Amino acid sequence: MEERSPHDRAERQREFAECVLPEVEMLLRVAMTLTARPDQAEELVRGTLARAYRTFDRRHGRQPRTWLLTLMHQERTDRRRLRGPRPRRDREAGPGPSPAGVSGQPAKPVVLGQSFHEVVDIALAALPVRYRQVVRLVDMDGLSYAEAAGSLGMSEATVKSRLRRARRRIRVRLAAAGLVPGRGER
């Protein structure tokens, strides 16, 4: 490894700060979407930033956001690999009980006194993790399909497909709550 002069190191650190620091908040939002706990998200961001610093000279002019999301995906994959296999859950199972009006039962006025945002939050929480992640990354964090795909390690087509299915499920819940028109009521 070649020695850098103090001037070269200072210049590299300045370039790194200009390139990476504006993206740290976005990295934290994405990490919160990908992990279960805030401390895990912070650890993932720290690992991503350390990886970014080590490989900063090899980024080859790539867009900082795309490059950082790729590094985050690599960091997350390496961490999972080191942790070992986890027991598999049903892929379609979402967390917690599902709100009334969706499981084939007649729709009840679930939302009396609740705001639109509360119903959306409930619908989002009821989604399987694989759908919830793409909704958060694209619709809430503002990532492009390509950026979301890079951070999740999947194709853009998969991101689009999951996003379409997630939005459909959310719309069904909103329709059941009487907040949006149902299929034939437009």
More confident residue, 97 or 20: 20
Please work out, in degrees rounded to the nearest 5, the angle formed at the alpha carbon of residue 145 by the alpha carbons of 98 and 75: 85
The CA–CA distances, whole Å, from 99 to 129, 130, 175 equal 17, 19, 13
Q: CATH 1.10.1740 spans which residues of the chain? A: 6-83
Could you tell me the maximum CA-CA distance found in the chain, to the nearest angstrom?
72
Q: CATH 1.10.10.10 spans which residues of the chain? A: 116-185
Q: At residue 32, does pLDDT exceed 70?
A: yes
Report whether 82 contacts 74 (CB < 8 A). no
Per residue in 134-159, pLDDT tens?
A: 998 998 888 899 989 988 889 999 99
Is the model's pTM score more than 0.85?
A: no
Supply the CATH classification number for the domain 116-185: 1.10.10.10
Mean pLDDT rounded to a whole number for the chain: 79
Task: Give me the CATH topology for the region 6-83.
Answer: Rna Polymerase Sigma Factor; Chain: A (1.10.1740)
Amino acid at residue number 186: R
d(CA 163, CA 54): 34
